[in-house]
Chain A
Amino acid sequence: MTGKGEAAAQHREEEEDGEMVGVVKLISAEGFEFVIDKKAAMVSNTLRNMLTSPGGFAESRDNEVRFPEISTAILEKICQYFYWSLHYASGKETAEFPIEPEITLELMMAANYLDT
């Protein structure tokens, strides 16, 4: 993480009133666990809703989300994308996000699901 990205994230953190602090566990169909920063997970609107929706759904209580329909490989790629997006979304720096052709379709479906 470069300084700039962090500063922007910190700023957003204050706005979200602490909801961005901490980590969240994402679990793939095969049971593989990815622990990522909450603010990275918030790149996905679906995840954001999941973690912030009122009423205490299981996910926001346990800080743990299971994806029975997303494979480990795809979920890993997604997590990489979260951090990539966090870093480069401001547009100040640019870099390619590499996608292997064979996982493109699956990745697209997951992106649609996650509203990313």
Chain B
Amino acid sequence: MSGGGPPRKRNFKIEAFKHRVELDPKYAERTWKVLEHAIHEIYNHNASGLSFEELYRSAYNMVLHKYGEKLYNGLESTLTWRLKEISKSIEAAQGGLFLAELNAKWMDHNKALQMIRDILMYMDRTYVPTSHRTPVHELGLNLWRDHIIHHSMIHGRLLDTLLDLIHRERMGEVINRGLMRSITKMLMDLGPAVYQDDFEKPYLEVSASFYSGESQEFIECCDCGNYLKKAERRLNEEMERVSHYLDAGSEAKITSVVEKEMIANHMHRLVHMENSGLVNMLIDDKYEDLGRMYTLFRRVPDGLSTIRDMMTSYLRETGKQLVTDPERLKDPVEFVQCLLNEKDKHDKIISVAFGNDKTFQNALNSSFEFFINLNNRSPEFISLYVDDKLRKGLKGATEEDVEGILDKVMMLFRYLQEKDVFEKYYKQHLAKRLLSAKTVSDDAERSMIVKLKTECGYQFTSKLEGMFTDMKTSQDTMQDFYAKKSEELGDGPTLDVHILTTGSWPTQPSPPCTLPPEILVVCEKFRAYYLGTHSGRRLTWQTNMGTADIKATFGKGQKHELNVSTYQMCVLMLFNSNDGYTYKDIEQATEIPATDLKRCLQSLACVKGKNVLRKEPMSKDISEDDTFYFNDKFTSKLVKVKIGTVVAQKESEPEKQETRQRVEEDRKPQIEAAIVRIMKSRRVLDHNSIVAEVTKQLQARFLPNPVIIKKRIESLIEREFLERDKADRKLYRYLA
């Protein structure tokens, strides 16, 4: 017993009723009149007296008695007639009442249609599907569309009214949104095609021209930030409008119109706008404006890449200026701090305004990589920065602060192409720190090594770690030495030896100076002790790297403890036996290399407050004709006086050349090793592939120059590791 039974069943019934039809031939006409009357009454709001059952039964019987077509056609023509009447009354509505009248009539029609559909339900269920007619409700909508919406006197007027209202709202007027909503909903009810063709398309066109004009006006008179604010507001307004009274499907379309007209069309001009464009926003940290630009530009194709490209070129430009500014190069610590600040600033912009966009981070990284490597002193300076921090900068800083700073440095380190140069400098600086016991925190030192290790692997830091091991063993050795030999040593000066493994330390062979006899005695004892416990080793004194604490008594009997370098100690010890020496005398007695001697004399005689020696004639520089005297009048508030050597913190030009040369030398075996590794597995390879592979293998440490790679290949051919292919000269073969 359910709705539409199988057709077979119905056939039976129709068979049974055939006889009744013949009984009353006028039945159909009479029944239709009843229904027609009812439809008119419904439209006249007069339905309350009608019996639903009677009407339904009438329609039911008409359909059963095969008058379905008559019923359907009658309905269609009645509806059409009513709608023509309705259209007249809508046409007659004046001005602002037009929409209201249309809406009221639409409501009526809808309600009437529902009632008619209900009483004709049986026809909808049986006649309509079998004879492929349009269901009643849909028929009513179609007729409304054809006779009202598409009526020549209504169609254009409706569209104009709607567009005019929207325009007025854009200009700030308050309009009846409820009515707008009803009307657009009506258009949607009539089918998406009606909404789109009769309203949405023209609406989008009008909007496009409106925003094209408005954006032109804005861009002429607003700065970039204000323009973006206005564009954002317009965009939000349009979205709000859609949510209030348009179909949700319009949102994407209208926003794309606004995006295109207000953003995409003016994108480049906005970014480049003088005094307020992207660059100024970046400089002034305008997070809000930048964030707005990001979210707006993201909506349009190529929007973000426009920002990104501009940012990249700006970063490269300013970065280039920064790293090539000769003023900046004077202070390496300041230089690196500048880079770090710059990085922090833009990191913050990307995280606050650009939503941590990966592509922006990449752009930032590649920009830094680009300009940091423009200056070949960057590796040295970064190492100097770490040196500065680990010497004194980190005093009082918490562990997290230290980690933070080191992490930032590692970030810069990652940008370096010549990581091996950094290693070289880092080793030098670390050696100085360790030997002069200047390092603030052992933990910080080790943490830095661990970071380098994770970044570049064991090989990179093995020597650095070796240095730490040496320091530790030296300590143990010295303890043992004094434990065993203390009575033998007596009251002589205390010796503290660091035993440095050759190769791990950046030592340069330098001829030892002549040590004062007191020291020499202890040294010899230590040598005997050390070689006694470790046979087969060779000890060389690195007098250029040591320090000494000596006590001195001055003219008025005041005593000071002087902290000096080994060289300075040798010089000062001379004054125990004589009050004055010429430069030549000192040079002869100590055998200190000339450049080092000059530096050490300069720091002893020419630094105010630390001038334990007096020089004649007085001048800033040391010349070979000078004579030096013990400065009896030396005074100082401090008991302990630290006399630093005048060492240029950063390398001088010749030193730099030297380091560079050493780096180049070190690279040769690395390149050769890489070539051999590659050839061993490939056997045969052409020149360009080798260069590419070698570059790839070594890029974690440095960027090898193709010319040098070529030279290394030639050298390997000479040494018969490789040979050229007989047929193809561009191919190399590996010779096992």
| A interface with B by C-beta (< 8 Å) | 45-46, 49-50, 53-61, 65-69, 81, 105, 107-109, 111-113, 115-116
Contact = CB atoms under 8 A, between A and B. Distances in A.
A11 B47 CA distance: 31
A81 B1 contact: yes
Given A45-B121, A113-B60, A115-B125, A53 B48 contact: no
Given A45-B121, A49-B121, A81-B1, A55 B57 contact: no
Interface in B1-18: 1-3, 5, 9-10, 13, 16
A105 to B, nearest CB: 8
A115 B114 contact: no
A57 B610 CA distance: 116
Contact residues on B (Cβ < 8 Å of other chain), bracket: 20 to 34
A58 B48 contact: yes
Contacts of B47: 55-57
Contacts of B56: 46, 49-50
A59 B51 contact: yes
B65 to A, nearest CB: 13
A49 B3 contact: no
Given A45-B121, A111-B1, A115-B125, A69 B57 contact: yes
21 contacts: A45-B121, A46-B56, A46-B121, A46-B122, A49-B52, A50-B53, A53-B52, A53-B114, A55-B45, A55-B111, A57-B47, A57-B50, A57-B51, A58-B50, A59-B53, A67-B53, A109-B13, A111-B1, A113-B57, A115-B125, A116-B3
B172 interface: no
A20 B49 CA distance: 22
Contacts of B111: 54-55
A66 B118 contact: no
Nearest to A105: B16
Interface of B: 1-3, 5, 9-10, 13, 16, 42, 45, 47-53, 56-57, 60, 111-112, 114-115, 118-119, 121-122, 125
Nearest to B112: A55
A112 B125 CA distance: 10
Nearest to A27: B53
B235 to A, nearest CB: 40
A57 B52 contact: yes
- Among A49, A61, A66, A105, the one with the most B-chain Cβ atoms within 10 Å of its Cβ is A49
B672 to A, nearest CB: 84
A55 B48 contact: yes
A89 to B, nearest CB: 10
Contact of B115 (A53, A69, A111): A53
A58 B51 contact: yes
A65 B53 contact: yes
Contact of B118 (A53, A56, A67): A53
A75 to B, nearest CB: 13
A46 B119 CA distance: 9
Contacts of A116: 1-3
